[in-house]
Amino acid sequence: MSRVMINLILGAGVGLVLILSALLGSSDLALPHAVAALLGGGDATAHIIVWEIRLPRALAAVGVGAALGASGALMQGLLRNPLAEPGVLGVSASASLGAIIALYFGLGLLGAFTVPVLAVAGALAATLVLSVLAAARISAVQLILVGVGLSSFAGALGALAMNLAPNRFALSDMVTWMLGSVTNRSLDDLMFVAPFWIVGVGLAALTAPGLRALALGEETAQTLGVHLGRTRAGVIGAAALLTGGAVAISGVIGFVGIVAPHLVRPFVRHDPTDLIWPSALLGGGLIALADLVLRLAPLDQELRLGVMVSMIGAPIFILIAARTRGMGR
């Protein structure tokens, strides 16, 4: 199956999930009224529900899943390891720490975008550290170890902030953020993180030739004229911007960066650049579908998206890790 056909099929699937997300929900809006509102008709209430509540939430889910899926494919191509993703390098944890700091000090009162701004700042701080180290041409193993250290340190600081929360309201906000959700997201939220995603996609496109050469090994890539430090810094920067934007809008959602590339890999060639865009489309579709299932689930209290994704993604991660170990013997 060609790369174009795979992207078309996955794109059609994402479009179908978006349409279903606009038409279906927990409100009492009848399906014919939802269809009419989606097509530009219907009454004002139906228009608000479809265009200002359901669609922005669905688009946020697609954007978050796509960013995390593409980030995972980038990191797996760079490190040549199917278990690699931005979460391993501490970018997600650093972004979460930025958001927790904002919630701890009540900075959300200064404006609606204060928490996302600090989340992106946390991701960029981690990116700066990793980019400097990548430009210094340290090995992939050393880079992973640094990322694990960053993740552990950021996680410890976040736990400390929650342990010393000034009041129960701040603690509740921090816990809610850590659970991950796209509830009540608006087009303004998407417009805020869009520049980070756009720059990240641009960096991914620029570093694609170098990433393709790295699949042949570092020595071979160097003989082909690839600048290893620049390529690593570009890939890490792209993954960090994509992940930082995702965490800024949804909180912590794990395992997408591992699962989406793993599901796509059997249908693409060994070229790591062929994995990026299908992983983004599949990641976006999976997160949007998971969010739709949560909205339709007959529960007294809506289950958080990050919790559901982790419950599904963790067993898949264990299976991938077991297969990887077996292949490495």
Return d(Cα 74, Cα 86) in angstroms, integer: 9
Q: What pLDDT, in 10s, does the model give residues 45-95? A: 888 998 999 999 999 999 999 999 999 999 888 877 777 787 777 888 898
Task: Give 179-217 pLDDT, tens digit per residue.
Answer: 888 988 888 889 888 988 999 999 999 988 888 888 777
Task: Give the three-state DSSP class for 26.
Answer: coil
CA-closest candidate to residue 74, choices 245, 201, 230, 227: 201
What tens digit of pLDDT does each residue of 90-135 get?
A: 888 898 899 889 888 887 777 667 877 888 888 888 877 877 777 6
Which of 154, 153, 131 shows the shortest CA–CA distance to 143?
131
CB atoms within 10 A of CB 5: 10
Backbone torsions φ then ψ of 90, nearest 5 degrees: 85, 5
For the domain covering 3-327, report its CATH number.
1.10.3470.10
Let me know: does 302 contact 183? Beta carbons within 8 Å: yes
DSSP 74-138: HHHHHHT-TT--TTTTTHHHHHHHHHHHHHHTTGGGG-TTHHHHHHHHHHHHHHHHHHHHHHTT-
**Of the candidate ranges 19-23, 50-54, 239-243, the one whose mean pLDDT is the lowest:** 239-243
Task: Give residue 63's pLDDT.
Answer: 95
pTM: 0.87
Q: Where are the domains of the chain?
A: 3-327
* Range from 21-25, 185-189, 247-251, 267-271 carrying the lowest mean pLDDT: 267-271
Rounded CA-CA distance 271/208 in Å is 10
| Residue 180, φ and ψ in degrees, nearest 5 | 80, 125
